[in-house]
Amino acid sequence: MKARSLVMPALLLGFFFVLAASCAKYVPTEVGVAPGAPAPEAKALWSYITKDSPYTEWRMWPDKKALYMGTVPHGALLTTYVNGGARKAVIQSAGVMPNGAIIVKENYRPDKEMVAVTVMYKVAGYNPEANNWFWAKYSPKGDIMVAGCAPMCIACHSGRKQFDYIMTK
């Protein structure tokens, strides 16, 4: 029984190693950044969503209100904002987000304390194996916690690959 209990962690570790290796080959030299959008780089993206085009001025995910029930690993409560391109794709049930789509999720504890801001940013040519998503996780103050071709994010969201890696319904 003990050997069997080690199989799943070993498989997961192997999966993350393979995923990390595949992400490493996607250091893009030519990406299709939408006009006026930031480069797929954590500092540039944070600056864009907090200063250039503050995400808190965007509309929320259609049919979602502030502080809806969340799931692990994001938080007990969530608030999800989408830029114009992402919102249009959701409303039209496009199935695939357009280049330049940005989804920003505020992650909260049950006591409504924000603990992180997670972002999905679609950049043509960035990482074709994960539908060109650039992933980022920031502290509420903007400290970079995870960014780029994030194996943990991709592994979790890959269960929704047929929905362009989008978890929010």
From the options 2.60.40, 1.10.10, 1.10.940, 3.50.70, give the CATH code of 2-163: 3.50.70
Which SS3 state, helix, strand or coil, does residue 111 take? coil
Ranges of each domain in the chain: 2-163
Region 133-138: mean pLDDT is 98
Q: List, for residues 83-133, the tens digit of each pLDDT value.
A: 999 999 999 999 999 999 999 999 999 999 999 999 999 999 999 999 999
Region 147-159: mean pLDDT is 92
List Cα–Cα distances, 61 to 4, 87, 93, 109, 131, in angstroms: 42, 7, 13, 20, 20
Asked whether the beta carbons of 103 and 110 are under 8 A apart, the reply is no
